[in-house]
Amino acid sequence: MNITVQESPLGEVMLSKEDFHTIIAMVREASGIVLTEAKRELVYSRLRRRLRALNLDSFSAYLVLLNGSGGDAERVRMINAITTNLTGFFREGHHFEFLGDDVLPTLPRTRRRLRIWSAGCSSGEEPYTIAMTLHRAMPDLASWDARVLATDIDTDMIEAGTTGRYAMERAASIPAELRRAHVRRIDSETVEMGPELKSLISFRQLNLLGSWPMKGPFDVIFCRNVIIYFDKPTQRALFDRYADMLTPDGHLFVGHSETLHNVSDRFRHLGRTIYRRIR
């Protein structure tokens, strides 16, 4: 006699083991993000909102939709829903101190070209922090050909970054002198990044595991709290591509819990999750 053991429901809709494994396989194929059983509740809570929005009563019905003729658009929304977007202005502030104090002053003044990439930019706080750092560290910034590329797989985050509006409490971590110079109050609850910051940044949707249309080279790449979602082979391939996109002495910044140890031999560790490409 065959006995079917059902998973315990997380809320009023059941997420079966089979449906969960199908979903995480789709997510991995689409984005490279590796989700384990430990992320089961996160997947449930994020996608349960999609079920409500679509008026679906089961994850099985959701999978039918994803695999149907109109499933491509919903797959984008699924990735948007699952992607973790934990960020903030001047998060891991030592990275921006190093950028302003050690990297920018050493750039060749004869070239006057600067390219920085915020890979996995989330809702935009990181690239706006980079832009503020450039303004603070480079009084002659206007005479430079300087650009910040901000990319993320989540289209909702790209839209948020492009808009450049944030809840006032989120801007509290911006140093006061930079808030006064670059942040505009919209109302009692909302602020907006200044046009001098927006003009430096180009927000673009990008899957890091897909093709990269930009040519580079970049002087600096920020890829923080991104590789923790990838397996080791994917990390190795990604850092090889980053090395190829950097200038000979370009710098790479990764997240506080991330490391290139046993992942890439093309960078020298400078400490505090800061790396420089080896010539």
- Could you tell me the pTM of the whole model? 0.85
Average of per-residue pLDDT across 207-213: 94
Domain with CATH 1.10.155.10 in the chain: 17-82
Contact 60, 22 (CB under 8 A): no
Average of per-residue pLDDT across 75-99: 88
Task: Name the one residue in this structure whose structure tokens are 């970054």.
Answer: 161
Catalytic residues: 46, 152
pLDDT tens, 107-118?
988 889 999 999
Domain with CATH 3.40.50.150 in the chain: 93-277
| Higher pLDDT, residue 13 or 220 | 220
Q: Percentage of residues in the chain with pLDDT exceeding 90? A: 75
Whether residue 251 is predicted with pLDDT greater than 80 in this model: the reply is yes
pLDDT band with cut points at 50, 70 and 90 for residue 1: very low
DSSP string, the chain: ---PPPPPPSSSS---HHHHHHHHHHHHHHH-----GGGHHHHHHHHHHHHHHHT-S-HHHHHHHHTSTTHHHHHHHHHHHHS-----TTTTHHHHHHIIIIIGGGS-TTT-EEEEEEET-TTTHHHHHHHHHHHHH-TTGGGSEEEEEEEES-HHHHHHHHHTEEEGGGGGGS-HHHHHHHEEE-SSSEEEE-HHHHTTEEEEE--TTS-------EEEEEE-S-GGGS-HHHHHHHHHHHHHHEEEEEEEEE-TT---TTT-SSEEEEETTEEEE--
Average of per-residue pLDDT across 231-238: 94
- CATH level 2 (architecture), domain 93-277: 3-Layer(aba) Sandwich (3.40)
Average of per-residue pLDDT across 240-263: 95
Average of per-residue pLDDT across 63-68: 93
Residue 85: what pLDDT?
66
- Sheet containing strand 113-119, edge to edge, reads 201-205, 145-152, 113-119, 218-223, 246-254, 274-277, 267-271
If one counts every other C-beta atom within 10 angstroms of the C-beta of residue 109, the result is: 10
pLDDT band with cut points at 50, 70 and 90 for residue 39: confident
pLDDT tens, 125-178?
999 999 999 999 999 999 999 999 999 999 999 999 999 999 999 999 999 999
pLDDT band with cut points at 50, 70 and 90 for residue 38: confident
Whether residue 40 is predicted with pLDDT greater than 70 in this model: the reply is yes
pLDDT tens, 2-37?
433 344 344 478 899 999 999 999 988 888 888 889
- CATH level 2 (architecture), domain 17-82: Orthogonal Bundle (1.10)
Residue 4: what pLDDT?
38
